Amino acid sequence: MSRAQHQFDGFRLDFPATLDHAREAVRSVVQWLADQKIQPDECQQWELVLAEASNNAVLYATSQQTLLPVRIEAALSASDIEVRITDHTSGFDWPSEISLPEDDESEHGRGLFIISSLTDHVSYLRGQDHNVLCLRSARKSLPHAVEDTEATLELMTAEVASCYETLANIFRLIADAGNDVEPVALASRWLEELRELAGADFLVLRMASAETSRLPILGGVPTTIPWESSLDLRSSDAVESRAALTRQDCWFDADTVFSDSDPLCKAGPHISGLAHPLESAGDLAGVLTVGVFQPHWEPSARDLNVVRSLGDFLGALLHGLHRRDEANQARIMKRELQIAADIQRSLLPAELPQTPFVRCAAHLATVGEVGGDYLDAILLPDSSLLFVVADVMGKGVPAALFATAFHSLLHSHLDLAARPSRLMQRLNKALFPELDRADMFITAQMVHVSADGQQLHVSGAGHAPLLLSDGAQIREVCADGPPLGVAEDATYHDCTISLSTYTHALLHTDGLSDVVSGGGILSREALHTWLRATAAAAEDAGTSRDSLHRLHRSAVDSACQQDDATFMIITRGAHTLSANTQNSLSHAKG
């Protein structure tokens, strides 16, 4: 008889190893998912996956093995659905690559292909007396929000605090690495930090070397455990080897059957934890193993986030340090910068929002692969618009990191968008500790335009003034406060302006007007002249953007560009984007 247990956080069912009972078990799990408000199409997908998986769990059972029950367990989190199937057959070797078999009659290969294709993560742990198949996919139907504002705010605060804790530790790690510390010393120091942050008892870090078949140890805590100096990747018997070879997390606990040669046996008889593969630029960088001296470990989401996020960054950083003196260092750094640039560009809106009353277009040019300039245009729920241009002091990865932090904070506090000064003050207070520690600052300008395009509110933080024109005159709007990161208790002000006569506005970073040319710079007067002519000609946002880009490019070609350059054109009225403008936002490497 099958025995089902419905728990507050999951579902468990033990059933005899027969096909009939397997089908009944699958129906029970799918019904449980439906009871948890999982959408029908998602339930159907899981029904197909579990049918294939449960059949595998019973098809190869011997007459003796059919007496041992198969266990199926399901659990939900806010973002994932996870199912584990435990059987007592002799198991099989999980292929390193899964593809649809050419032989249409091959059910085994077809089943593995279906399972792999319809789930986000699959791991198969084969033991001496039992095997565990773990399946996980992101939820397509998210749980309904609990109408508890206070609890929701507390959760959001905890998540933001966790993100900033991780970000702060990343900045500290970057600072340590900048002190030219040896990789072994850096790893030892940060493994102790990571153990405390994750609430773990032991950690082992193995990093890739020139000998691709082995992973030598770089550090392990506590140091009293006689950790193996090197891990042989040619054998998949060890938990860490499986994590490295499959590039997937490998969990272990008291039920895991360790081989005699598994280095984790040195940690003790009753351990549990996670072996997490580390990657850098698509290559295996190493394996970070985290565990506790307990039969079962149930880490919180925060603990897992610390292990994965900070561990990934530590692994990538150490991998970069290890390769620093090798001949291909330049190529690797270029690739990493390209990835950073791709990530940075992904923060920019693919298209800027347009309304019947307000049109906009923008351009961002960086001196190197990554830079500190940032722009955004956000359509708010009441159909008003928030335009943002910011400039992080300096260039390169540090500036890009703070631009990323600025983006995250900005989108976390859009409830303040109608009062840019309050939003600016909130960002300054949140960013000040890390900016002050890094001795950096951010200039920014925020412009909120009403839904009818008739009024705007401007707030600045040490930034170049907003320029407005009606075709005859130019108005400069500073609304200036100190740059973000200069004073923790800085105050900012809003400047409210009626747009009844102005048709064109220009926001820009100082890189636009700091281009040194043979005849001087792209001066304030030159920008005024261009904006008056553009407004007088009633040019639309896209055409205006293109003409200013050409003016800037001409100055750059005859000089040496000293900074990233970003600008945004806002037009008011019944303008449309020009037909020859493919995108409202363009990007170029200077």
Give the C-alpha distances (Å, rounded to integers) separating 556 from 387, 515, 520, 524: 26, 6, 12, 16
Are residues 361 and 424 located together in one domain of the fold? yes
pLDDT tens digits, 419-475: 999 999 999 999 999 999 989 999 999 999 999 999 999 999 999 899 999 999 999
Q: What is the spatial distance between Cα 437 and Cα 148, in angstroms, rounded to a whole number? A: 37
Q: How far is CA 555 from the centre of its chain?
A: 37
The CATH number of the domain holding residue 93 is 3.30.565.10
Q: What is the spatial distance between Cα 212 and Cα 337, in angstroms, rounded to a whole number? A: 25
Mean pLDDT for 154-162 is 64
Assess if residue 514 is contained within a domain: yes
Residues in the chain: 590
Are residues 357 and 416 located together in one domain of the fold? yes
The CATH number of the domain holding residue 302 is 3.30.450.40
Whether the Cβ atoms of residue 117 and residue 99 lie closer than 8 Å to each other: no
**Angle subtended at Cα 437 by Cα 466 and Cα 329, rounded to the nearest 5 degrees:** 95
Which spans in 178-232 are helix H?
183-198
Are residues 304 and 363 located together in one domain of the fold? no
**In the structure encoding, which two tokens stand for residue 568, read together?**
């945004």
Whether the Cβ atoms of residue 121 and residue 243 lie closer than 8 Å to each other: no
pLDDT-derived band at 7 (thresholds 50, 70, 90) equals: very low
Assess if residue 157 is contained within a domain: no
Q: What is the spatial distance between Cα 32 and Cα 7, in angstroms, rounded to a whole number? A: 11
Are residues 101 and 229 located together in one domain of the fold? no
Give the C-alpha distances (Å, rounded to integers) separating 173 from 42, 176, 476, 563: 41, 5, 42, 27
Q: Are strands 131-138 and 80-87 parallel, antiparallel or unpaired?
A: antiparallel
Whether the Cβ atoms of residue 570 and residue 359 lie closer than 8 Å to each other: yes
Q: What angle, rounded to 10 degrees, do the helices at 541-557 and 524-536 form?
A: 150
Are residues 180 and 88 located together in one domain of the fold? no
Q: Which pLDDT does position 520 carry in this prediction? A: 43
Assess if residue 33 is contained within a domain: yes
Is the pLDDT at 163 greater than 60, yes or no? yes
Cross-strand pairs, 230: 216
Q: Which residue has the tokens 């032989």?
A: 103
507 vs 168, more confident: 507
Is the pLDDT at 183 greater than 90, yes or no? no
What letter would DSSP give residue 285? E
Assess if residue 270 is contained within a domain: yes
Assess if residue 152 is contained within a domain: no
Assess if residue 41 is contained within a domain: yes
Q: What is the spatial distance between Cα 85 and Cα 62, in angstroms, rounded to a whole number? A: 18
Assess if residue 317 is contained within a domain: yes
Where are any strands of DSSP class E within 337-383? 358-366, 373-379
- Window from 130-134, 140-144, 385-389, 559-563 with minimum mean pLDDT: 559-563
Are residues 387 and 532 located together in one domain of the fold? yes
Q: Which range, 53-67, 113-127, 391-405, is most confident?
A: 113-127
Whether the Cβ atoms of residue 400 and residue 370 lie closer than 8 Å to each other: yes
Phi, psi at residue 567, to the nearest 5°?
-150, 155
Q: Are strands 358-366 and 585-589 parallel, antiparallel or unpaired?
A: parallel
Assess if residue 463 is contained within a domain: yes
Are residues 404 and 529 located together in one domain of the fold? yes
Are residues 352 and 469 located together in one domain of the fold? yes
Are residues 401 and 455 located together in one domain of the fold? yes
pLDDT tens digits, 193-240: 888 888 899 999 998 877 778 888 888 889 888 888 888 888 778 999
414 vs 333, more confident: 414
Q: How many domains does the chain have?
A: 3
Which amino acid is present at 199?
G
The CATH number of the domain holding residue 510 is 3.60.40.10
Q: What is the spatial distance between Cα 360 and Cα 353, in angstroms, rounded to a whole number? A: 8
Domain of 416?
A: 347-589
Are residues 317 and 351 located together in one domain of the fold? no
Q: Which pLDDT does position 404 carry in this prediction? A: 84
What letter would DSSP give residue 219? E
336 vs 507, more confident: 507
Are residues 358 and 320 located together in one domain of the fold? no
Are residues 396 and 476 located together in one domain of the fold? yes
